Structure 1
């Protein structure tokens, strides 16, 4: 099983220009870090429109060769560069439970492992077909409203490799049962799953579920709510 980490940084608004520069410069440097198998530097937001972007929060999702390489991330040039401009940060250590689909033509997360009783993280990402983008964005608000009030939700925010057309979400749940209850029983979400296949919104998509092994740092950067209703 390959170690996976999600690092999230909060930067002050005055540092947004520096963050934009890092978003352009650091993906290649992150991928070139020793021990990295797959890496994506991501912007975040409260939704999928450009105006929903959060200019003060950024994330790196990384798949590592081994736990030692993952543990050394904070000492890498890319991590030190983000630490210099950030005010707060959080890191989640993850173990893959299930994944379907591809990201940049790859199945990046390796073989799945066993689940547990603790929190789980769900990751969705997709590259939209341009001609389907408008119908996709119209379908988002009911699902977004539903997830914000879902029982067992600890944290939730949008992610993307680019402001338009490269969409994704990160959500953290108290356990697999809470995630499954929302994913497969909530009517709005079930309707969205059906429309995904019938309307062909995506040129490429991926869904992955991870066990959350550890959460380090400032959980408020994730919009974490111990009460079970996360809101970024």
Structure 2
């Protein structure tokens, strides 16, 4: 089992239409910068979308994301003054940064367990979750048909503060980042809402995923805005 990182950050940058080509280009340019950044354990440059169907139709070219697992909070702080954040600051009309501490994680992402392993820790205050899956090609159609009822129910779930579809750039939305008022609200959706429970049942029975990950985090800070508001 891997040791949990000292800190996990999620950046969301909203860009105007004129900056969309430059933002897409940064998805390639920033890979090299992240590979050399001190303290980076795991990093993913991500496209975003509504997460309502998890198809390309969901994609939002005006919002881009960066998820990083850090050795320490000090490494994350140093990154904030570096060239990647400065470059995005020149493009973006708004920015949201979520700083998190892993509570539990199950599964893998690109063969790694970037957020540690299973845990039973509960916490007071807001929490976040990341779900991510790589679909089996022959099971994709059934998965896409099953998603809309769950996505619609998620938007109505009590305690939800933000939900964003995420996928490894440049295309393909394979997961969700969600922010919740507290741990109880997240658990209520995950374990008691009928549409989600039905998809969980079918996932096991029909083996939709070649790889999957579910991680839960304590939210330490939320800074900035997304869609003109702080969630």
Fold-level similarity (TM above 0.5): yes
Partner of 2:50: 46
Alpha-carbon deviation of 1:126? 0.8
Distance 1:120 1:209, change over 3 A: same
Aligned length: 224
Gapped runs of 5+ residues in structure 2?
none
CA contact (8 A) 1:154 1:224 kept: no
Match of 2:34 in 1: 30
2:95 aligned partner: 89
CA displacement at 1:27 relative to structure 2: 2.2
Out of 135, 138, 143, the position equivalent to 1:128 is 135
Query: What is the root-mean-square deviation of aligned Cα atoms in Å?
Result: 1.7
- Answer whether contact 2:27 2:169 (CA < 8 A) is retained: no
Partner of 1:207: 214
Could you say which residue in structure 1 is the equivalent of 2:116?
Answer: 110
TM superposition shift of 1:78 = 1.6
**Map 1:1-232 → 2, pairs under 5 A:** 1=4, 2-47=6-51, 48-110=54-116, 114-162=121-169, 167-220=174-227, 225=231
Deviation at 1:40, TM superposition (A): 0.4
Deviation, 1:163, is 5.5
Q: Which moved more, 1:18-27 or 1:38-47?
A: 18-27
| Worse-matched range after superposition: 117-126 or 28-37 | 28-37
Please tell me whether the aligned partners of residues 99 and 207 of structure 1 are also in contact (alpha carbons under 8 angstroms): yes
Paired with 2:120 and 2:46, the residues of 1 have a C-alpha distance of 25
CA pair 22-113 structure 1, distance change in 2 beyond 3 A = farther
Distance in 2, Cα, partners of 1:38 & 1:31:
9
- Report SS of the residue matched to 2:174: strand
Q: After TM superposition, give the deviation of residue 164 of structure 1 in Å.
A: 5.2
Say if 2:9 and 2:69, in contact at 8 Å, map to a contact too: yes
TM-score with structure 2 setting the length: 0.91
CA contact (8 A) 2:56 2:172 kept: no
* Distance in 2 of aligned mates of 1:183 and 1:160: 21
Q: Secondary structure at the match of 2:80?
A: helix
Residues in 2 aligned to 1:192 and 1:21: alpha-carbon distance in whole angstroms: 35
Cα distance change, pair 166–144 in 1 and its aligned pair in 2 (3 A): closer
Q: Which runs of 5+ in 1 are unaligned?
A: 226-232
Helix, strand or coil at the partner of 2:124: coil
Kindly report structure 1 stretches of 4+ aligned residues shifted beyond 6 Å. none
